[in-house]
Amino acid sequence: MSNARTDDRPGGYRTGPLWLGAGVAFAVLGLGLVVALFGMLEFDERCMQGMTKGPGPLVNTRNQAFPPATVCEFRDGDVTSVGGGALLTGLLWAALLFMTACVFLALLAECFEPPLRGAFAGELVVPMSRTEKVRRTGAAFFVTGSFFLMIYALAGWKLLAGPASACARGADWGAYAPRTVTYSFFPPRATCQYASGMTHRMNPDWFAWLTAGMIAPALLAGLGFVLAYRRRRAERLAGAPAGRPADATGADRTPAT
C-alpha cells in the first residue's frame, strides 16, 4: 500500500541542470555581445576615413542585426567588425541556441506531472507537492515576465510616451526635431527622419526582435503556472468533505458553530 501511495503522488522533472546550462550560456552570450558592440564603435568612420583597408574602394557601410557588427562593403569584398568574425559569430549563435533550448525544455517540463515510476524516476523525476509546483512555476513566470517587461521598457518607452513624437523625445532638438515616419509597438521600433532627409531606426533590428522573442518564454512559463494552480485547486476541491464546499484555496468555508 505504501508503494501505491508513493507512486500516486505528483512528481516533477529535475530542471536544475537545464537552468544552470541556460545561465552559463546567457553569461557567454552577454560577454560576446559586449565584445561585438564594443567592436562596432566608430568602425564605419574608420572605413570612411581609410583607416580600415579593404579590397577596392569603399562602396557602403551597414549594420548587421545579429551578431551585432558593422559591415564595410568594398568593391571586391566586405570587411566587418569583430562581431562579424567567424569565431565570435559561431560562439554567439551556439550560446543563443543552447540557452534557448535549455530555457524552453525547462519551462516545458514544468507543464507536465510525470509519474514516479520507471527506471528514471529517481534521476529525472522527484516527488513534488502541488504547492511546491505552484511556487516553482510562479517563480519562473515572475522572472521571465519581469525580464520581458524590462527589455520592452528599454526598447519602447519612447513609443509608449508618444508614438508620433518618439524620435524627438528625450533630446532638445529645437526647431529641427526628427519626425517619426513609421513605428510599431511589437516589435518596438520606429523610423526617424531628420531635417536633412536622412533616416535612422530608433532601435537596432536585433534589439527589437530580441524584445519580441522574449514574450515566448514568458507565455510558456505563464501556461505552466496556470496548469499547476488549476491542478492544485482541483485536488483541494476534490478532497473537500461532502457538504462543505472549499474556496479557491481549498479552505473549508463551513461557519464555526
Residue 252: pLDDT band by 50, 70, 90 thresholds?
very low
Q: Are the C-beta atoms of 165 and 180 separated by less than 8 Å?
A: yes
**Cα separation of 63 and 71, whole Å?**
6
Average pLDDT over residues 153-175: 77
- What global pTM score does this model have? 0.66
**Cα separation of 4 and 6, whole Å?**
5
**Cα separation of 9 and 130, whole Å?**
9
Strands (E), 81-134: 125-127
Residue 97 to residues 68, 168, 174, Cα–Cα distance (Å) = 16, 36, 45
Q: Which residue ranges make up each domain of the chain?
A: 1-115, 129-238
pLDDT digits (tens, 9 = 90+) for 174-196: 677 788 888 888 888 888 888 77
Length of the chain: 257
Residue-averaged pLDDT of the chain: 78
Res. 241: pLDDT tops 70: no
Q: Taking CA 139 as the corner, what is the angle to CA 137 and CA 143, rounded to the nearest 5 degrees? A: 120
Res. 140: pLDDT tops 60: yes
pLDDT digits (tens, 9 = 90+) for 147-158: 889 888 888 888
CA 218 vs. chain centroid, Å, equals 8
pLDDT value of position 244: 44
Average pLDDT over residues 32-58: 81
Give the three-state DSSP class for 63: strand
pLDDT value of position 119: 58
Rounded to 5 degrees, φ, ψ at 173 are: -95, -10
